[in-house]
Amino acid sequence: MTDTVLWFATRGAGIVSLIMLTGVVCLGVLTSLRWQAESWPRFLTAQLHRNVSLLAVVFLAIHIVTAVVDPYTSLRWMTAIVPFSSAYRRIWLGLGVVAFDLLLALIISSLLLPRFGVRSWRAIHLTAYLAWPIALLHVYGTGSDLGAPWMLAIDALCLAAVLGAISWRLLAAPPARGVGMGSTR
């Protein structure tokens, strides 16, 4: 019974993490574009980006913890940190660990922004554009619901949202110079 609960918790938290991380990437693009509307000021986009990021990290932590404590996977804590060190689905799980490690770098650099400086922080923060597709590959390789129509729809919507946001970013005029990413001015 407990194994089944852990399996559902791992799957559910993983799916929620994917959806939330998709939202984080899209909100990050909006923030980098200095997007605002009369009814939605720019500082709300930045604050929403931060808050959704924190919530995504919570669900990601639940996903990782339940996967490690689930006896079926036989994962160890080290396999959640060191990429490609698991005997269980080595490549696909390793990609998830790489995405997690990149997100960990983002979290640490954001918490220590004054010590890193905006230029270094921005360079590290750009790894989000790399972490997200790696996480999506992890979903494709380890997801037990991959063939389910509802999961295919979630994956397609997440992919379309991120590709749309990145396209918008690439086609938009560059943001004003001298204003840091995530600025509320």
Q: What is the pLDDT of residue 37?
A: 62
Residue 177 banded pLDDT, cuts 50, 70, 90: low
Q: How much helix, strand and coil, in percent to the nearest 5, is found in the chain?
A: 75, 0, 25
pLDDT grade, residue 21 (50/70/90)? very high
Distance of CA 137 to the CA centre of its chain: 12
97 or 116: whose pLDDT is higher?
Answer: 97
- Give whole-number Cα distances, 12 to 9, 17, 48, in Å: 5, 8, 22
Q: Which residue has the higher pLDDT, 176 or 131?
A: 131
Residues 6+ apart with CB under 8 A from 162: 22, 25, 26, 132
Provide the CB-side half-sphere exposure for 6 (13 A, CA).
Answer: 14
Is the pTM of the predicted complex or chain greater than 0.95?
no
Domain ranges in the chain?
2-167
pLDDT digits (tens, 9 = 90+) for 130-174: 899 999 999 888 877 878 899 999 999 999 999 999 898 888 766
User: 41: Cβ–Cβ under 8 A, 6 or more apart, which residues?
Assistant: none
On average, the pLDDT of the chain sits at 84
Which pLDDT value is given to residue 178? 47
Tell me the helices (H) and strands (E) count for the chain, helix number first: 7, 0
